[in-house]
Amino acid sequence: MKKSIQIGIGDSVTTAKGFIDAWKRAEKSDKVEAEHRLDFESLESLLKTLTPGRWVLLKKLRKSGPMSVLALARELKRDYKNVHTDIKKLEYIGLVSRTRDEKVQVPWDIVEAYLRLAA
């Protein structure tokens, strides 16, 4: 089974409604699949966080598998400090994690983004 995360734009009211809806579904059934979501408060904050460079980093890391930050920087031909900063941000929001031996990895098979033009 593939592990996926959905990324989108949502305020606290929308996020709370989603949580309540999931809770109600769980109460009705003894088998509920976990939903993984990452909501940003605005398109601007999403684009500021998921920059083109970070997206390339995620794709490379997913394709190549777990590796050190230094190895990743070398693979991408980028400055170590900048890759380290990007990894810290992506780790903070949950798109990157660490293995037991401290290598970085993308734990997701699928990253879906949903952007609506109107509410």
Distance CA 94, CA 39 (A): 11
Q: Three-state SS string across the chain, please?
A: CCCEEEEEECCHHHHHHHHHHHHHHHHHCCCCCCCCEEEECCHHHHHHHCCHHHHHHHHHHHHHCCECHHHHHHHHCCCHHHHHHHHHHHHHHCCCEECCCCCEECCCCEEEEECCCCC
Q: What is the pLDDT of residues 14-33, one digit of tens each?
A: 667 766 776 777 777 766 66
Residue-range domains of the chain with CATH? 4-114 (1.10.10.10)
Give pTM, 2 decimals. 0.75
Distance CA 64, CA 73 (A): 13
The predicted pLDDT at position 31 comes to 64
Distance CA 16, CA 86 (A): 29
- Nearest Cα residue to 5 out of 110, 118, 119: 110
Q: What is the pLDDT of residues 58-88, one digit of tens each?
A: 999 999 999 999 999 999 999 999 999 999 9
Mean residue pLDDT of the chain comes to 85
Q: What is the pLDDT of residues 86-101, one digit of tens each?
A: 999 999 999 999 999 9
